[in-house]
Amino acid sequence: MFKQRTITSWLAVGEALAPWRPLAEWPLLILVGVTGVGKSTTVEALQTAGLSFTLLPNRRELTDELIIGQMQTAAGEAVQLVTDRIKRFDYTAQYRQKYPGGMAHALSQLLVLPSELPTAQLIFDGLRGVEEVTYAAELLPRAYFLVLEAPLVVRVKRLLGRGDAFDKVSSIAQKRAEVGLVGLIPEAAGVFTAEEEAELMGLVADGVVSAEDLQGKLKIVLTERANYDPDGAREALLQVGRERVILGDTVALSPEEIAALVRDRWV
């Protein structure tokens, strides 16, 4: 097995051979939140606010770099890029079964090269779920956690509006939209209020989005809901290290206000 593999000029994975040092020794801010809570917008606000930090490869990139290929190899499959979000969830679930902590385990394997590191402080986007954040809080003692939150309906609307090519799901049967959200995806039963359902279905009725597009975005957020527990992750962090947690409601607070919280608590 390899002892160390370089990812960038200042980032590697494997054994901490000098002069490389474990990521656990560095000041790190970890964004915690599921799709659509506003992580990318928050990072932009932190940059605009003039905070000095270096971004680690994000969750998508580290999933490709450290997780999916490993799971494909273990299953005897050809190593290839996977863009379908539901298939990616399957691979990451397999990784979590093998390594408690999932992405947090992968993150804890990273090394930094001090002489090449652009800034002293690092930011990672991001972790989610109780196991990941609990594992990270223990293995990364210098890490702070910025917990970003938004209601399900807001997250769905943000996904519908952002046009990210990554937000796609294949092999979902199109159903009649006339019967409501449950007609598009049964897992939506009992999740949204009547007002929220009317708001989302109104986007279809008004021709703002297609029923197929809404169906795909619902599948993304509800699959995440089944795999991760945002409320549980927040509470788990508050239990293990309240002084290391920054809470950011991305509906109640502007990106600039969240950046100010980070400046006050972390920088």
- Which residue carries 């939150």 as its tokens? 149
Between helix 211-227 and helix 152-162 the angle, nearest 10°, is 130
- Tokens, residue 92: 């990451």
* Count of domains observed in the chain: 1
Give helix then strand counts, H and E, for the chain: 12, 9
Provide the edge-to-edge strand list for the sheet that holds 143-149.
54-55, 122-127, 28-32, 143-149, 245-249
- Strand-pairing partners, residue 22, are 111
pLDDT tens digits, one per residue of 177-188: 556 888 888 889
Rounded distance, CA 228 to CA 131, Å? 9
Q: Which of 212, 206, 242, 213 is nearest to 133 (CA)?
A: 242
Q: Residue 120's domain spans which residues?
A: 4-265
Task: Confirm if 263 and 49 have CB atoms less than 8 A apart.
Answer: yes
pLDDT band, very low/low/confident/very high, at 164 (cuts 50, 70, 90):
low
Instruction: Identify the band that residue 176 occupies on the pLDDT scale cut at 50, 70 and 90.
Output: very low
**Least trusted range by pLDDT, from 81-95, 140-154, 168-182, 221-235:** 168-182
Determine the distance from the C-alpha atom of residue 171 to the mean position of all C-alpha atoms in its chain, rounded to a whole number.
23
7 to each of 13, 56, 107, how far by Cα in Å?
Answer: 7, 11, 13
Residue 24 carries which DSSP code?
A: G
Query: Which pLDDT does position 228 carry in this prediction?
Result: 84
* φ/ψ of residue 125, rounded to 5: -120, 100
Q: What is the pLDDT of residue 183?
A: 86
Phi-psi region of 229 (alpha: psi -120 to 50; beta: other; left: phi over 0): beta
CA angle, 105 then 216 then 196, to 5°: 100
Could you give the CA distance from residue 147 to residue 62 in angstroms, rounded to a whole number? 20
Secondary structure (3-state) at 252:
coil
Task: Return the CA Rg of the chain.
Answer: 19
What number of other Cβ atoms are within 10 A of residue 161's Cβ?
Answer: 13
Most confident of 44-48, 173-177, 226-230: 44-48
Q: Does position 108 have pLDDT exceeding 60, yes or no?
A: yes
The tens digit of pLDDT for each residue in 17-29 reads 999 999 999 999 9
The pTM of this model reads: 0.86
Long-range pairs for 60-65: beta carbons < 8 A, 24 or more residues apart = 60/166, 62/103, 62/106, 62/107, 63/88, 63/91, 63/92, 63/103, 65/7, 65/13
CATH number for 151: 3.40.50.300
